[in-house]
């Protein structure tokens, strides 16, 4: 019988040592969210291997170090309104939910019906459903209904920064999006200051492709 809590804490210790987890807020969030609950039953024992894992429909749950990198570089704070594109299993949203609780909210958009319901079930079972709303649709166009967002992150690789996403960013808001080919991307951070958009390249990464109107 696997001691998930022990394995979770060991993984977070390792992510701290390797410099991926740098803040107390992200550390606490990753110590609390049970990644095993966001995996298909036959993969639960692999939950604390620092690797992406299959969740069905050819899609993956992101590796814990990538979730940490994105959470740290988004500079998440309690009370923020966030848009996630690519809900997948719901794990990444749950980690962010821990940080922005109790007053923040995450709108997470997924294009595959079975994954949207998988994520919803996982979020309900683990107690994050009040903080995360899962929506079925093409997130490459963003989600204008609830814009502007303090933070937006895309968990899939786009051919370029989708313009609807920068348009839906609040003043001072930050967007993280992997940009590149279907096989390899650079993690790009866009910060909005009024009409000005500042872009930074945070380094290489590998995500499944973003599909849809502003995707591949
Ligand atoms: N954040 C997820 C997690 O914690 O499990 C991992 C996301 S997975 C790497 C990428 C997801 O993006 C897939 O579930 C895929 O179906 C979804 N996706 C791709 N293009 C999309 C689009 N245009 N709109 C919404 N979701 C999209």
How many angstroms separate the CA atoms of 103 and 186, rounded?
32
CA atoms within 13 A on the CB side of 158: 26
Q: What is the pLDDT of residue 180?
A: 98
Peptide bond into 60 cis (omega under 30): no
Chunk the chain into consecutive blocks of 10 residues (it has 216) and report each block's average pLDDT, rounded to whole numbers. Answer: 96 98 98 98 97 97 98 98 98 98 98 98 98 98 98 98 98 98 97 96 97 98
Active site residue 62: yes
Closest C-alpha among 152, 154, 151, 172 to residue 216: 154
Q: What is the pLDDT of residue 1?
A: 82
Pocket test for ligand 1, best of 87, 93, 143, 178 (most atoms within 8 A of CB): 87
Q: In 3-state terms, what secondary structure has residue 124?
A: helix
CA atoms within 13 A on the CB side of 101: 18
Q: Any bridge partners for residue 190, and if so which?
A: 175, 199
Work out the number of other CB atoms within 10 angstroms of the CB of residue 25: 18
CA of 86 to the centre of ligand 1 (A): 3
pTM of the model: 0.98
How many angstroms separate the CA atoms of 107 and 208, rounded?
20
Q: Any bridge partners for residue 83, and if so which?
A: 107, 152
Using CB distances shorter than 6 Å, the residues near ligand 1 are 59-62, 85-86, 88-89, 91-92, 109-112, 115, 138-140, 155-156, 207-208, 210-212, 215
Burial class (CB in 10 A: 0-12, 13-18, 19+), 165: buried
The contacts of residue 137 (CB under 8 Å, 6+ apart) are 109, 110, 111, 143
Structural contact between residues 34 and 7, judged by C-beta atoms closer than 8 angstroms: no
Q: In 3-state terms, what secondary structure has residue 63?
A: coil
How many angstroms separate the CA atoms of 185 and 208, rounded?
10
Tokens of 211: 């599909």
Annotated active-site residue in 10, 23, 51, 62? 62
């Amino acid at each position: 019988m696997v001691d998930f809590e022990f394995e979770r804490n060991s993984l977070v210790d390792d992510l701290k040592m390797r410099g991926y987890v740098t803040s107390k807020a992200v550390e606490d969030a990753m110590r609390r969210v049970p990644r095993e609950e966001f995996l298909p039953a036959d993969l639960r024992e692999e939950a604390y291997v620092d690797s992406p894992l299959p969740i069905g429909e050819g899609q993956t749950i992101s590796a814990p170090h990538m979730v940490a990198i994105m959470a740290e570089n988004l500079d998440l704070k309690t009370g923020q309104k966030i848009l996630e594109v690519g809900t997948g299993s719901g794990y990444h949203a749950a980690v962010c939910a821990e940080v922005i609780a109790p007053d923040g909210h995450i709108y997470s958009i997924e294009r595959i019906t079975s994954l949207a319901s998988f994520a919803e079930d996982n979020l309900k079972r683990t107690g994050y459903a009040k903080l995360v709303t899962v929506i079925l649709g093409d997130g490459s166009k963003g989600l204008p209904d609830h814009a502007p967002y303090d933070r937006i992150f895309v968990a899939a690789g786009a051919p370029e920064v989708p313009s609807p996403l920068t348009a839906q960013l609040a003043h001072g808001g930050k967007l993280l999006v992997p940009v590149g080919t279907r096989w390899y991307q650079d993690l790009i951070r866009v910060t909005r200051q009024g009409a000005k958009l500042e872009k930074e390249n945070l380094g290489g990464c590998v995500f499944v492709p973003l599909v849809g109107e502003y995707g591949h």
